[in-house]
């Protein structure tokens, strides 16, 4: 049996293709006029990157226009890692132009960026051609997270870079028009895998958890769970000031749902949480050292979880919200940093919607490996969940773009894609207007 991240649903596709006038069942909402882009690892034919996370980035794009699926195309991101096989990590540090750009794809100030947390963003055209690395006029001097947070009120993009060498954590802020206007070091963390973070109206929220770096580890991604490191959540005032760190039970987190300040001024953080055991099982699978199909190594082994942090008293409460395994939390992004009622996640062949007000959950069976469900607000939306969910679903018969009503989780349309799309990471809806 080959390595799990090179086989089955994870197997890379060997080339770039394009197809037009895609087959469609159901009815696409005409207001969904734009592009859905999704990123993920796709090593070149014959390459073994040594870890699922280390494959070259490939964007899969679907163009929707007034009820039609006009085209599909897939393109590798032409990073220096892809074109020159340049290593992104050595004993001397990171080469910020040599990352794989394989994790997320976003748009800010009408510029499209493919992201990976160990390098600069790579700018793309709307047709998925690579423009090149971006350091925002020389002002970005660290890597850029694959999970920046757009403040829906100010239009600013908040981001950070974590380092394998000091400084271990640096916060950055882009203005609404794409200028890097602030950078500052956040003191405290060590060399840990800090994949995501959160913002509230007044704070930045950091996860300093025990997935630690050791360059002597024999791995393309030299991280491992080390409970002795401890676990902390940090809160930094957005306006400036010291970071307050809160000790929490040891765990691992890849993805944050959202965070906000409640009426008592406490910071509430929702995320999907791994135990040390479930994280290690997953990591062994995506490192090729174990069977990824094993139950302990499935992607969906994290649980929805909540931390409530009181800056006044220093108290922390922790709460398991659901015992089912899910990942890739998303929300209506007009609620980023503000209290949100609904959270969307994916589990084994399903989309799961959580209602934080009632504590209930609903699900939609998808019939295949289900990618992150991206929320798109409806035109003239009158409620937080008034909109659509877009997800690429892959099964033995191939892949499709599923479109569901986010209110009742009813499937409204399915676009048949011209090829199998490998399991991947994150994507975005880029409307024309």
Residues 77-95: what's their mean pLDDT?
A: 85
Of 374, 418, 371, nearest to 394 by C-alpha is 371
pLDDT surpasses 90 at 294: no
Cα torsion 351, 282, 41, 125: sign = positive
Residues 44-55: what's their mean pLDDT?
A: 94
What is the reported pLDDT for 47?
95
Collapsing DSSP to helix, strand or coil, 280 comes out as helix
Rounded to the nearest integer, the mean pLDDT of the chain is: 94
Walk across the sheet containing 104-108 and list its strands. 104-108, 111-115, 122-124, 130-133
Beta bridge mates, 369: 394
Tens digit of each residue's pLDDT (9 = 90 or more) over 324-357: 999 999 999 999 999 999 999 999 999 999 999 9
Tens digit of each residue's pLDDT (9 = 90 or more) over 360-417: 999 999 999 999 999 999 999 999 999 999 999 999 879 999 999 999 999 999 999 9
Residue pair 107/428 in contact (Cβ under 8 Å)? The answer is yes
User: DSSP string spanning 120-174?
Assistant: --EEE-TT--EEEE--TTTT--S---S--EE-TTT--EEEEEE-SSSS-EEEEEE
How many other β-carbons are positioned within 10 Å of the β-carbon of residue 28?
Answer: 22
> Which residue in this structure is represented by tokens 């009622």?
341
Residues 150-171: what's their mean pLDDT?
A: 95
Interatomic CA distance for residues 81 and 57, integer angstroms: 10
> In this structure, what DSSP letter does residue 178 have?
S
User: DSSP string spanning 283-342?
Assistant: HHHHTTSS-TTSGGG-S--BEEEEEEE-TTT--EEEEE--SS-BEEEE--GGGTTS--SE
What is the reported pLDDT for 290?
62
Interatomic CA distance for residues 318 and 153, integer angstroms: 29
What is the reported pLDDT for 296?
39
Tens digit of each residue's pLDDT (9 = 90 or more) over 54-75: 999 999 999 999 999 999 999 9
Distance from CA of residue 179 to its chain's centroid?
23
Burial class (CB in 10 A: 0-12, 13-18, 19+), 166: exposed
Collapsing DSSP to helix, strand or coil, 253 comes out as strand
Tell me the pTM: 0.96
What is the reported pLDDT for 318?
98
pLDDT surpasses 90 at 94: no
Mark 186-220 as b/e (b = at least 16 C-beta within 10 Å): bebbebbbbbbbbbbeebbbbbbbbbbbeeeeebb
Of 343, 375, 345, 347, nearest to 356 by C-alpha is 343
What is the reported pLDDT for 120?
97
What is the reported pLDDT for 293?
52
Domains and their CATH numbers in the chain: 4-26+156-431 (2.130.10)
Tens digit of each residue's pLDDT (9 = 90 or more) over 414-430: 999 999 999 999 999 99
Which strand (E) or helix (H) includes residue 207? strand 203-208
Interatomic CA distance for residues 179 and 202, integer angstroms: 21
Tens digit of each residue's pLDDT (9 = 90 or more) over 173-200: 999 999 999 999 999 889 999 999 999 9
pLDDT surpasses 70 at 292: no
- Taking CA atoms, 226 is separated from 32, 106, 124, in Å, by 45, 32, 37
Interatomic CA distance for residues 186 and 235, integer angstroms: 10
> Which residue in this structure is represented by tokens 């959202």?
258
What is the reported pLDDT for 133?
98
Interatomic CA distance for residues 306 and 312, integer angstroms: 19
- The encoded tokens of residue 74 equal 């897939």
Residues 102-107: what's their mean pLDDT?
A: 98
């Amino acid at each position: 049996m080959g390595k799990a991240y090179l086989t089955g649903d994870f197997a890379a596709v060997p080339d770039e293709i394009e197809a037009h006038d895609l087959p469609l069942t159901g009815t696409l909402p005409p207001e969904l006029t734009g592009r859905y882009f999704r990123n993920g690892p796709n090593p070149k034919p014959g390459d073994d990157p040594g870890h699922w996370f280390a494959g070259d980035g490939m964007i899969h794009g679907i163009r929707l226009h007034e009820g039609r699926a006009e085209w599909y195309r897939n393109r590798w991101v032409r990073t220096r890692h892809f074109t020159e096989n340049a290593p992104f990590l050595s004993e001397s540090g990171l080469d910020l132009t040599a990352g794989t750009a394989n994790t997320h794809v976003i748009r800010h100030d009408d510029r499209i960026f493919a992201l990976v947390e160990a390098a600069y963003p790579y700018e793309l055209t709307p047709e998925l051609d690579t423009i090149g690395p971006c350091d925002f006029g020389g002002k970005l001097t660290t890597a850029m997270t694959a999970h920046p947070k757009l403040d829906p009120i100010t239009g600013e993009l908040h981001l950070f870079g974590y380092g394998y060498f000091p400084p271990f954590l640096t916060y950055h802020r882009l203005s609404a028009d794409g200028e890097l206007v602030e950078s500052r070091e956040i003191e405290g963390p060590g060399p840990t895998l800090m994949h995501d973070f959160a913002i509230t109206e007044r704070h930045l929220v950091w996860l300093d958890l025990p997935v630690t770096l050791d360059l002597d580890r024999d791995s393309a991604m030299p991280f491992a769970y080390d409970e002795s490191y401890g676990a902390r959540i940090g809160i930094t005032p957005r306006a400036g000031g010291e970071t307050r760190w809160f000790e929490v039970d040891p765990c691992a987190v890849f993805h944050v749902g959202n965070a906000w300040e409640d009426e008592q001024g406490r910071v509430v953080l929702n995320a999907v949480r791994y135990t040390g055991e479930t994280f290690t099982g997953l990591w062994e699978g995506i490192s090729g050292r174990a069977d990824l199909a094993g139950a302990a190594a499935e992607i969906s082994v994290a649980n929805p979880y909540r931390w409530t942090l009181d800056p006044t008293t220093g108290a922390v409460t922790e709460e398991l919200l659901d015992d089912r395994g899910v990942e890739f939390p998303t929300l209506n992004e007009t609620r980023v940093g503000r209290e949100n009622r609904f959270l969307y996640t994916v589990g084994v062949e399903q989309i799961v919607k959580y209602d934080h007000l009632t504590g209930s959950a609903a699900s939609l069976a998808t019939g295949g490996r289900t990618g992150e469900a991206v929320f798109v607000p409806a035109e003239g939306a009158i409620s937080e969940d008034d909109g659509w969910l877009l997800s690429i679903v892959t099964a033995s018969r191939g892949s499709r773009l599923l479109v569901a009503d986010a209110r009742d989780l009813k499937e409204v349309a399915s676009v048949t894609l011209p090829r199998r799309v490998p399991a991947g990471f994150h994507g975005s809806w880029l409307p024309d207007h």
